[in-house]
Amino acid sequence: MTVSLFSQFLSPTLLGVPLVALALILPWVLFPSPSSRWQGNRMLSVQGWFINRFTQQIFMPLSLPGHKWALAFTSLMVFLITLNILGLLPYTFTPTTQLSINLAFAVPFWLATVLIGMRNQITASLGHLLPEGTPTLLIPILVIIETISLFIRPLALGVRLTANLTAGHLLMQLTSTAAFVLLHMMPMVSVLTGILLLMLSLLEIAVAMIQAYVFVLLLSLYLQENV
């Protein structure tokens, strides 16, 4: 049971070649591309409305220099949502359940925000390491604590996304296994478990979207501290 339960998180291979790159490239093919016509279809309209609303929500608190990141953050948001939702389909692989891939998303963006702060306003960026009014005896301890919390931010981003998606996938697999096993022994209980699985699937779709939003929202907060 343990092997079959966690085997869904193993990277798929074909003839010994990992297919993670294919799983990361495939979502870009599914995105609708803008047409040259003046009036687009419904899919393009929904996509444009969603991107506009998300961009306004994320970048409203940021100053004007931070708006340069709108394209990068919006693309990351749409990409993460697509990966998370596609991973809920049967017989698919979710790359965002891998901590290494999530860290590959989190570390470059976090490092870029820190470097921008060090370049543009190094005094204000270093000032975050020491709160105002700190007693003299606590200054070395607080500097060490704030430095650790600064470097742990990308790890927290990756672990949060990985843990939430992994827990959801495991819960769905356990519920579906229980519904299948109980089908012949207790049909009514199996039907109720199937309804629970349907509700859990809808919840996981919401979680997939919310976690992608939280991932980008926290990156925007880190950017807000440094611009």
Whole-angstrom Cα distance, residue 78 to residue 86? 12
HSE, CB side, 13 Å, CA atoms: give it for residue 77: 24
The boundaries of the domain holding residue 66 are 15-33+40-226
pLDDT at 2: 47
pLDDT at 17: 64
Q: What is the DSSP letter of 12?
A: P
Tell me, yes or no, whether 7 lies in a domain: no
pLDDT at 4: 62
Tell me, yes or no, whether 2 lies in a domain: no
Residue with tokens 């590959």: 104
Cβ–Cβ under 8 Å, residues 183 and 190: yes
Tell me, yes or no, whether 45 lies in a domain: yes
Tell me, yes or no, whether 1 lies in a domain: no
pLDDT at 1: 45
Q: Describe the crossing of helices 99-120 and 153-185 by its angle, rounded to 10 degrees.
A: 160
pLDDT at 16: 66
- Over its length of 227 residues, how does the chain's per-residue pLDDT go in tens digits? 444 666 666 666 666 666 777 777 777 777 766 666 666 667 777 777 888 888 888 888 777 777 888 888 888 988 898 888 888 887 778 888 888 889 999 999 999 988 888 888 877 777 777 777 777 787 788 888 888 888 999 999 999 999 999 888 888 888 888 888 888 888 888 889 889 989 999 999 999 999 999 999 999 988 888 87
The number of distinct structural domains making up the chain is: 1
